[in-house]
Amino acid sequence: LMAVTGIVHGATLSYSRLFADADILRWRSSSDTWQISDAFFHANILGTICGMDEHRHVMSSSTDVVGEEYDEKLQAVLETYEQKANDLKEAYKNQIMENTGEFNNYGWILSDFCPDGFDGKQLTVTSYI
């Protein structure tokens, strides 16, 4: 269940960045000065924008966050599928970067499914512990 709901949650970095963009914020208010609601809005999304933490997602083969070793069979499964996912992310990154015009305009959202750390993001799947 965590993995499935996490996929929906996985792109929140792009969503948060979009709504923290100056052009988007101009739609929220016609005032040239910050309002309390603007500050509150940013405080709420700050955790998402700054939320990337290496290896902190479900089904990671790393035990950095957990602090304990996994069962050997589970570790083998996690490593196998994590490598497959990483290979797919790398192939996707190469594909979207072929069209530089589209990437320059929409890379901030297209890059959600790139390797972790690309564009300062990760597809966390979920970081709920």
- Look at residue 51 in the predicted model and tell me its pLDDT: 57
Six-digit token pair at 17?
A: 């960045």
- Look at residue 27 in the predicted model and tell me its pLDDT: 73
- Look at residue 78 in the predicted model and tell me its pLDDT: 87
- Look at residue 82 in the predicted model and tell me its pLDDT: 86
- Look at residue 107 in the predicted model and tell me its pLDDT: 76
Cα separation, 86 vs 81, in Å, equals: 8
- Look at residue 90 in the predicted model and tell me its pLDDT: 93
Give first-to-last CA distance, the chain, whole Å.
13
pTM of the model: 0.62
**pLDDT digits (tens), the chain, 129 positions:** 666 666 666 655 666 666 666 667 677 767 777 778 777 877 777 666 665 666 666 667 877 766 788 889 988 998 998 899 889 989 999 998 898 888 888 777 777 778 877 776 666 555 444
Cα separation, 18 vs 42, in Å, equals: 12
- Look at residue 113 in the predicted model and tell me its pLDDT: 79
- Look at residue 129 in the predicted model and tell me its pLDDT: 46
